[in-house]
Amino acid sequence: MHTPIPSHKPVADRFTNKIAIVTGGSSGLGRSIVEELCKEGGKVLFTGISGAGEKSQKEFHAAGFPTTFLRGDMANEEFCAEVVAQTIKTYGAVNYLVNNAFAFTAKALDATTKDWMRSFTAGPLAYARMVQNVVPPMQKAGGGSIVNMSSISGHIAQVNRWTYNAAKGAVNQLTKCQALDLAPFNIRVNNVDPGWIWSNETDKAANMDGGGRAKWDAIWGKYHMLRRMGQAIEVARPTLFLLSDDASFITGTTLMIDGGYCSMGPEGLGETAVIAGSD
């Protein structure tokens, strides 16, 4: 059975008069981050590559959220520049950036040069370009905060995932270098590394094999100490913390949001692991 997460009340006005860019904000983790930023007073320009962006934009506006959507591919250098320029034109400033859009290309021995190029141009290279573009307006604003979305896949080996895991691993090192170089400008850079989170991708994988979340949450949950998959909002909340002044002395850091995944050894939960609430 799905475990409910603790109730949460947005921090009122934490991001009032603040402007954020969230790439890949049309669905999943990115959408949840956009929604939580708006609930706490922020204004957000978000990007997406599919028609889900227009749908999300309508829903955000119906909820009274001040958002702007741009559709495009983050692998495109000109689009990265356009995202920042449009944010300045619409809202007048940039205070925060969440680099979330990332190519999910999972190939190994079968990886082509095109696969490798897609993994990096729509991954760490896009992250780097976005940071390069937001630094001038953040400097003008007196500083800012950046969160790069990485993954447990950047820390471990997984079968047939040379491209994706190498690209996510690059994000972790990129974040440290960016944090070092941007600290003199009062710009903090951190990354969050989620474990298995119920999202569009996991939903598609579950539906292909049948059973939906009720079945697969229990199966994939065995890889996590908390014995379940995470939910998008459980990534959004820590991301907002890192963006906010509550994390004013945190930079160059990786925050694992993985339910204990990367801390477990090969024994896993163990044969005799006691599950709270079990008979």
Do 233 and 256 form a contact (C-beta atoms < 8 A)?
no
Q: How many CA atoms lie within 13 A of 89 on its CB side?
A: 8
Q: Is residue 164 flagged as an active site residue?
A: yes
**Active-site option among 91, 127, 164, 223:** 164
Beta strands in 63-219 (DSSP E): 67-71, 96-99, 144-149, 187-194
d(CA 225, CA 67): 36
| H/E run at residue 171 | helix 162-182
Q: Report CA-CA distances (Å) from 120 to 80, 125, 146, 147, 242.
A: 15, 6, 19, 18, 25
Q: Which residues of 62-99 are buried (b: 16+ CB within 10 A; e: fewer)?
A: eeebebbbbebebbeeebbebbbeebbeebeebbbbbb
Structure tokens at 8: 């949460």
Residues serving a catalytic function are 164
